[in-house]
Amino acid sequence: MLDATHDLETQSWVASANAPDCDFPIQNLPFGRFRRSPAEPWQIGVAIGDQVLDLHAAGLIDHFDMHRLMAMPVAARRALRKTLWEGLKAGSALQPLWQAALLPQNTVELGLPCEVGDYTDFYTGIHHATTVGKLFRPDNPLLPNYKWVPIGYHGRASSIGTSGHSVRRPCGQTLKPGAEIPALTATQRLDYELELAIWVGQGNALGEPVPLDEAEDHVWGVSLLNDWSARDFQAWEYQPLGPFLAKNFATTTSPWVVSLDALAPFRAPFTRPEGDPQPLPYLDGAHNRAAGAFDVVLEVWLQTPAMAAAGHAGHLLSSSNFLDAYWTLAQLVTHHTVNGCNLRPGDVLGTGTLSGPAPEQGGSMLELSAGGKQPISLPNGETRTFLQDGDTVILKAHAQRAGARRIGLGECRGTIVPARTLATLD
């Protein structure tokens, strides 16, 4: 649904928002939380260029509760977007008032968009699932249910942090090759996963499924998500109940939630490869087929300690696109609730690793290094099979199309710090 807020030619009186490569032009207007100091409560803001607009100071809201904002009906949400667009566009009469409500993003702390109540991680990246499956089941990489049901597991909300936080190398059980007894050790196969986070807006009552045609009304927006993974723990513990300590030690999101309204110009048809089964009726619909997918470019960058010391911003490891996901975000919401499960404002649904079809488009080191068998060569002569202490992983994403303004999702950044000494665990 396109309207005036998507106009390619609209400029903002916030000069930095008009740069061609800016992630947050006036056509984006993502929401997040910030504070001026740790002693102050979190405030709600909107990113515009390199600034953040304090919605309370601008007189747009009378509270600091992001969950309340996320629960707004769709019509009210779009009305707020239109008000923001009108006030921030060049020539707006609100400029003198709102100018005082602007803060440079680099002078404030950006937090999680809201407190996360529940977290579910899906497995929508078929290329990731196929590549990883081949490492363990060369003749049968995809299990029989994969093309029929969105696969997912419930993750740990308490360990979700925002971009810029460090990630401590975790300790856990592994069974080393040839060993009969597992050992407690720091992970030697620490990995990232390139994902999107789907932030739930309006919830649904317990016992009341969300039909596919209404599913997007329950989505506040998307951000980047890194589902850090300890592959050696994962291989030992995942049967029969799935991921546990291999996943729950850290998950990182970018701080700004980009609305589906902002992404409207980048919608695309949802299709399945020829010969694949079509979704069951409850996961199928005319709108989902016509425009349920989104054309969003996703990137993974790696900055090693040596690169940082040399002033190098990092190396692009891989690039993929959300178009390659096997399920749409609407299908994830509908399937999650088809049994009556109630979603609540601020819940997070991870897409799962979003890899592309080519080997160099893997969304994890597990794929790019063929399970650690093929070291990844970096331009400064270093190599990696999995992450080392001091490495920084930066996820980026943007949507770009002729006739529309380029918008971005910002950065999702995390740096690995050493594990706690095992002596404290003996």
Domains in the chain (CATH in brackets) are 4-110 (2.30.30.230), 119-425 (3.90.850.10)
Over residues 266-278, the pLDDT tens digits come to: 999 999 999 999 9
Three-class secondary structure of residue 155 per DSSP = coil
Over residues 72-110, the pLDDT tens digits come to: 999 999 999 999 999 999 999 999 999 999 999 999 999
- Asked if 128 is an active-site residue, the reply is yes
Q: What percent of the chain has pLDDT over 90?
A: 94
- Dist. CA 199–CA 119, nearest whole Å: 10
Burial 54-63 (b: 16+ CB within 10 A, else e): bbebbebbee
3-state SS of 166-210 is: EEECCEEEECCCCCCCCEEEECCCEECCEEEEEEECCCCCCCCCC
Taking 80 as the threshold, does the pLDDT of residue 51 lie above it? yes
Over residues 120-151, the pLDDT tens digits come to: 999 999 999 999 999 888 888 998 999 999 99
Taking 70 as the threshold, does the pLDDT of residue 426 lie above it? no
Q: Which residues pair with 348 in a beta bridge?
A: 119, 199
Mean pLDDT of 344-370: 97
Active-site choice (6, 128, 335, 336): 128
Report how far Cα 211 is from the mean position of its chain's Cα atoms.
24
- Dist. CA 303–CA 316, nearest whole Å: 9
pTM of the model: 0.96
Burial of 216 (0-12, 13-18, 19+ CB in 10 A): buried
- Note the pLDDT of residue 298: 98
Over residues 396-423, the pLDDT tens digits come to: 999 999 999 999 999 999 999 999 987 6
Taking 80 as the threshold, does the pLDDT of residue 388 lie above it? yes
Q: In the chain, how many H helices and how many E strands?
A: 10, 25
- Note the pLDDT of residue 343: 98
